[in-house]
Amino acid sequence: MKKAIATLMILVISVSPLFRGLYFELEAYAFLAVLALLSVVYLFTKLANREAMRFHKWILVFGVCLIAAYILSFAKAVSIRDNITSLIQISTYLLVSIILYDYYHDKKRLFGQTLMLFTVIAGFINAILGIEALSGAFESLNYTLIYMRVGGMFQYANTAAVYFMICVVFSIALIHSVKSILLKLMLSGMGNIAFLALLLTSSRGGFLVGIAVFLLMWALQPKGYRLKYVCSFVCTVVPAFLFIGRIITLGGSRDYISIAKWMAVSFMAAVILSLIYGVVSSLLSGAKASIRNGLAVVCLVGFLAVAAVIVLNHGITAILPGNIIMRFQTLGLQDRNIILRLTYFRDALKLISSNWLLGLGGGGWYSLYQSVQDMFYVARTVHNHYLQVFVEAGILGFISFLAIILLSLINMFYSLINQKDDTERIMLTGIFCGFLALVLHSSFDFNLSYVSMALLLWTFVAGSAVCLSEKSTANAGTVLQTISFRSNAAKLAVIVACSALFSVSGLFTASAYYADRGFNSLLRKDYVTSGTYYLKASHLDPLNPVYHFQLAKVYYNYSKRSADPIQVEGWRRTAIKEAEQSVLLNPCYPEYREILAFICYESDQPLKALENAEKLIELQPLKNSNYELLAKCYLKSAEYYRNNNNMDKCREMLIRCSQVDQLPKVTADETIMEYKHQALALLKSF
């Protein structure tokens, strides 16, 4: 039973990237609920069998500290609901890590092979879907592309790049870790398609991390396997370089059959090359090692010579498409993407400097980053997960998360240098390099904002402790300290926590389902259906400000479509109520303030509109339309005070309206200047 649950957990984690990477709430909560349920069943099994639970002491300590940091951040959290989300995610990640370690702590090889095989198969499917999207024949896959860059089911090329890189690393590691010849050949083919998808992401950061990781993987191979690694790598990736140009030329052609054909050709070429290599290796198995290595070196040198001749005669575009080369030619400190990332990091440090102790809670960055930016941009994440955690959970969260990562890397390193079995060392090298790729790439992108990638990271964390053998434990000293507990009360407490996670995740899944239906109806401008679904979602998840925000927009549209003045007033009152609720639940998110100010303005509530428009300027000072809204609110407030015979306040409002164009970060456009002239004209009448 325990084996089935642990295997199913790894399977669930492995296939999760196929569901939009679990970036969106509907899929994310559904998978978290499934994992929480599996955890409950596993723990009940342990309880019934009166077995002890085991885990790495320090990873558990720092994991609990990370959870504690998010709990403490409620004190200053800008959004209670978003912080609950972060708390659920972190708790589930740690729980999954504990259970995987508990089962696999003495099954190192089984853990590695199960994780890598499931990941490679899922990555193979993901790569096929991503590459086929290039044809444009499948409308449902168009969202996976950004400027003809393959994003896979992540819908984002950079995260897809590091994911496909991990799949290639795993496939090559498995080729030298499994005995089945057929499986070796299939792994070579699947690794080839994953590498092809990696190239088609055109991710410069992914390529740079990939080069470093593939070289490190070569360096960490056991004695006598480095040349084998190079040969397997060449057999796997060379066909991708040969046929990538054919696939790129079919982009947008709607000819998905031809793309499938070239993928099949590339797959079979990798299989055939691997088969030839395997046959030659078998024939030379009786020869001296020096002869075998000499022949292999001659073949590799010959291959490199041919590649060099091709490049010299036809240019680098003979093996790499022009669009990939162009992306590298623009790489530099003046590159827009690098400038933007450095800007994100700088603004994150601004938020950290004033909230370093407790953080701003989950959602703290995307709620407040526009209040500190010096150039306008839109970024839902910091694009650096370590800084993201610092912004959200403060110094304790940052130190705890960083400690978990570093401790896991140390565990894997000790395991590698002390591992005597060649097969296990190759497998551990694959896990270590995959983990390192994800850790490095997440320092300049938001991979870990995808729940699927975060689950993979925490599976690596569990694997870092699993990978430590008894021999490495002795040499590592205090690196590995496994703790165990048999207390039924402790197990029941964890079961209660798991049940709570399952219940809340299940509830949020249901609300996210209704919200998804409501959003799709909103896109079709079916406001009645949309309102019905969002109302159901808000009843299930009343703390979610997004649902109240969407209901405010729906009810405002009801008012626009009604001809009855009484109904119009009623719908606008309801819209204001929902908008106020969204602001109450997250007072720092600019869009909530904007919709509230706008609806109040349209509903002849100028003072309330002005109050929120002024707050909006603090939260989003670089968006020029906010200043237009502010100027309108000043004019309407002036009219309100004039009608109530408060001429001093009327004059004050008009003066403020005439000075909007002088505010520090405004760009005085025609609309703002028009409001200014209106205010100045009215001031002359005083």
Residue 342 has which token pair? 């450095």
Residue 429 has which token pair? 């090298």
Q: What mean pLDDT do residues 493-517 have?
A: 96
* HEC readout, 360-387: CCCCHHHHHHHHCCCCCCCCCCCCCHHH
pLDDT of residue 472: 46
How far apart (Å, rounded) are the C-alpha atoms in residues 651 and 638?
7
| Helix, strand, coil share of the chain (percent; to 5) | 80, 0, 20
Q: What mean pLDDT do residues 325-332 have?
A: 68
How far apart (Å, rounded) are the C-alpha atoms in residues 116 and 135?
29
Q: How far is CA 298 from the centre of its chain?
A: 44
Instruction: Report helix, strand or coil for 320.
Output: coil
Beta-bridge mates of residue 372: none
Residue 130 has which token pair? 């991503």
pLDDT of residue 490: 84
Task: State the residue for tokens 């025609």.
Answer: 670
| Dihedrals phi, psi of 56, to nearest 5 degrees | -70, 125
Return the percentage of the chain with pLDDT > 70, whole number.
Answer: 91
| Residue-wise burial string across 445-464, b where 16 or more C-beta atoms lie within 10 A, e elsewhere | bbbbbbbbbbbbbbbbbbbb
**Best CA proximity match to 594, nearest among 618, 558, 569, 561:** 618
The torsion defined by the Cα of 655, 660, 661 and 663, in degrees rounded to 10, comes to: 120
Beta-bridge mates of residue 55: 483
Domains, the chain, in order of start with CATH, read 56-106+336-485 (no CATH), 111-331 (no CATH), 514-684 (1.25.40.10)
Question: Full-prediction pTM beyond 0.75?
Answer: yes
Q: Are 517 and 83 in contact (CB under 8 A)?
A: no
| Residue-wise burial string across 29-64, b where 16 or more C-beta atoms lie within 10 A, e elsewhere | bbbbbbbbbbbbbbbeebeeeeeebbbbebbbbbbe
How far apart (Å, rounded) are the C-alpha atoms in residues 209 and 503?
39
How far apart (Å, rounded) are the C-alpha atoms in residues 581 and 57?
43
Task: State the residue for tokens 């984690």.
Answer: 13
Residue 483 has which token pair? 């703790």
Q: Tens of pLDDT along 646-662?
A: 999 999 999 999 999 99
Element (H, E) at 150: strand 149-150
Q: Are 197 and 160 in contact (CB under 8 A)?
A: yes
Q: What mean pLDDT do residues 271-295 have?
A: 74
305 confidence band (pLDDT: 50, 70, 90): low
Taking CA atoms, 147 is separated from 231, 251, 410, in Å, by 34, 11, 39
How far apart (Å, rounded) are the C-alpha atoms in residues 190 and 236?
9
Return the percentage of the chain with pLDDT > 90, whole number.
Answer: 74
How far apart (Å, rounded) are the C-alpha atoms in residues 549 and 547?
5
Q: Are 54 and 486 in contact (CB under 8 A)?
A: no
Neighbours of 311 (CB within 10 A): 14
User: Cα dihedral sign for 507, 508, 513, 515?
Assistant: positive
Q: Tens of pLDDT along 363-410?
A: 999 999 999 999 999 999 999 999 999 999 999 999 999 999 999 999
Mean pLDDT of the chain: 91
Task: State the residue for tokens 């398609």.
Answer: 193
Q: How far is CA 235 from the centre of its chain?
A: 31
Q: What mean pLDDT do residues 615-632 have?
A: 96
570 confidence band (pLDDT: 50, 70, 90): very high
308 confidence band (pLDDT: 50, 70, 90): low
pLDDT of residue 475: 47
Ranges of H-type helices in 524-620: 527-540, 545-561, 565-585, 590-602, 606-619
| Dihedrals phi, psi of 482, to nearest 5 degrees | -85, 135
pLDDT of residue 474: 45
pLDDT of residue 473: 46
Between the ranges 31-35, 326-330, 465-469, where is the mean pLDDT highest? 31-35
Alpha-carbon Rg of the chain, whole angstroms? 29
| Dihedrals phi, psi of 145, to nearest 5 degrees | -105, 140
Beta-bridge mates of residue 484: 54
Q: What mean pLDDT do residues 159-164 have?
A: 97
Side-chain half-sphere exposure of 374, counting CA atoms within 13 A: 10
Q: What mean pLDDT do residues 317-342 have?
A: 73
On the question of pLDDT at 78 being above 90, the answer is: yes
533 confidence band (pLDDT: 50, 70, 90): very high
Taking CA atoms, 149 is separated from 142, 251, 442, in Å, by 11, 10, 20
Q: Are 25 and 31 in contact (CB under 8 A)?
A: no
Taking CA atoms, 574 is separated from 527, 609, 656, in Å, by 15, 15, 30
pLDDT of residue 171: 97
Q: Are 426 and 218 in contact (CB under 8 A)?
A: no
Q: Are 206 and 198 in contact (CB under 8 A)?
A: yes
User: Cα dihedral sign for 536, 539, 540, 546?
Assistant: positive
On the question of pLDDT at 624 being above 70, the answer is: yes
On the question of pLDDT at 625 being above 90, the answer is: yes
Burial of 248 (0-12, 13-18, 19+ CB in 10 A): middle
Neighbours of 672 (CB within 10 A): 22
How far apart (Å, rounded) are the C-alpha atoms in residues 445 and 165?
15
The residue type found at 468 is L
How far apart (Å, rounded) are the C-alpha atoms in residues 328 and 570?
58
Q: Are 598 and 616 in contact (CB under 8 A)?
A: no
On the question of pLDDT at 479 being above 50, the answer is: no
Of residues 308 and 136, more confidence is placed in: 136
Q: Tens of pLDDT along 408-424?
A: 999 898 888 888 888 88
Q: What mean pLDDT do residues 1-5 have?
A: 91
277 confidence band (pLDDT: 50, 70, 90): confident
DSSP per residue over 164-183, as a string?
Answer: HHHHHHHHHHHHTT---HHH
Q: Determine which of 113-122, 172-181, 561-570 has the lowest per-residue pLDDT on average.
A: 561-570
On the question of pLDDT at 315 being above 60, the answer is: no
Q: How far is CA 604 from the centre of its chain?
A: 42
**Best CA proximity match to 189, nearest among 273, 267, 123:** 267
Q: Tens of pLDDT along 163-222?
A: 999 999 999 999 999 989 999 999 999 999 999 999 999 999 999 999 999 999 999 999
Count of helix runs (H) and strand runs (E) in the chain: 27, 4
| Dihedrals phi, psi of 319, to nearest 5 degrees | -120, -20
On the question of pLDDT at 30 being above 90, the answer is: yes
How far apart (Å, rounded) are the C-alpha atoms in residues 433 and 170?
9
How far apart (Å, rounded) are the C-alpha atoms in residues 639 and 410?
68
pLDDT of residue 210: 94
Q: Are 542 and 583 in contact (CB under 8 A)?
A: no
